Amino acid sequence: MPDDLDYVRKLKEAVRNFDEDGVKMITEEAVRAGVDSSRLIDEALVPGVREVGERFERGEVFLPHMVMASDAVDAAVKIIEPHLPKGKEVKKGRIVMGTVEGDLHDLGKNVVIMMLKANGFEVFDLGRDVSAETFVQKAKDVGAQIIGASSLMSTTRPYQREIIQEVERQGLKGKVKVIVGGGPVNLEWAKAIGADGYGRDASEAVREVRRLLGIED
């Protein structure tokens, strides 16, 4: 009869191996066996997917693996959620992300999303060519604390400022923070338009989000 630690170890291993079916099966078994749900999250899912993120940063695994690991964790969370103690949050924070209006480049944005997910954040991907109004509306709809806006062209960069203005116009300043990034974006620009944060790359974006949400490493 496996003990709690066996389930935790196996679950973490399945996440590391990007094995969604395995993750689902082990999670279901663990829940049935009465393993503490918080333990499954804190000791298996979160460290497992974070490890995949670290391996991605080291160039040992690639985006499909990140997606598979992230999907596996999402599937496990769906199974675990009904069994969590009241008040226990699975995700560390909610973020709405997209590429700004007029811009179809989404490579950097997708990598940032994967890294955020690997670090336990819930991310809503709005895709490309997203208007300022859509960013803010979605943030309101899902109760996001952060909007992440990417721009890959100097000619679409001004739309990052429009998002910040839209946040202010809707009276959400301070409640919804805006972080910006992308090729033509730098710290100077982020400060000039009044952004709350700036991420030069995916790792820095994750650090900025943690800082803005007051999460300690």
Partner 1 sequence: MINLLEVAERIRTGQKMDTKSYDMGLFRKTQELTKKYNLNQPGKPEFWEVDNAYADAVFQAGVDFLTEWGAYCVTTERVIKFTEDEVRRAAREIPSQIVVGEGSDTRTIKKREIEDTQNRPNIVVAGHSAWSDEVPVPIHIAVREMVSDERVDVIQGYMYAETDKYEISGPTHWAYAARRAVERVRNGCTQAGRPGLCVVQYPTLTRAFALVAAMDPYRGLRPTDGTMFSIQPDLHVDADYVAASYVYEEYGLAYKENQGGGSNFIADIYGGMIISIASRLAAWMCYRDNVQGGGGAAEPRGAQRDWGGVAPASELVAERAKKYDAMWLNFAVYKALHRNTGLITKANIWGCHEMAVEQLSDEFLLMQAISAMRETLWGNHFHFAGSANPPTVIRWPIDVSDAVMRSKLKLSDYQELSSRITREKLQGWQDLSRVKDQRMKAYESPKQLLDTQLNVYDFFKQKISEKYLENEKKVRSYLKDLGLDFRA
- Provide the Cα torsion 17, 20, 22, 28; round to 10°: 140
Contacts of 172 (CB under 8 A, 6+ apart): 136, 139, 140
Find the part of the chain contacting partner 1 (CB under 8 A) among 31-39, 63-71, 74-82, 88-96: 63-71
Nearer CB in complex with partner 1: 64/87? 64
* Calpha distance 46→94 (Å, rounded): 16
The reply on whether position 155 binds partner 1 by CB under 8 A is yes
Radius of gyration, CA atoms only, the chain: 18
The reply on whether position 33 binds partner 1 by CB under 8 A is no
Considering only residues 82 to 141 of the shown chain, the ones binding partner 1 according to CB under 8 A are: 102-107, 110-111, 127-128
The reply on whether position 57 binds partner 1 by CB under 8 A is yes
Find the part of the chain contacting partner 1 (CB under 8 A) among 5-13, 19-27, 28-36, 182-190: 182-190
Residues of the shown chain interacting with partner 1 in the complex, contacts defined by CB under 8 A: 56-57, 59, 61-65, 67-68, 102-107, 110-111, 127-128, 153-159, 183-186, 188-189
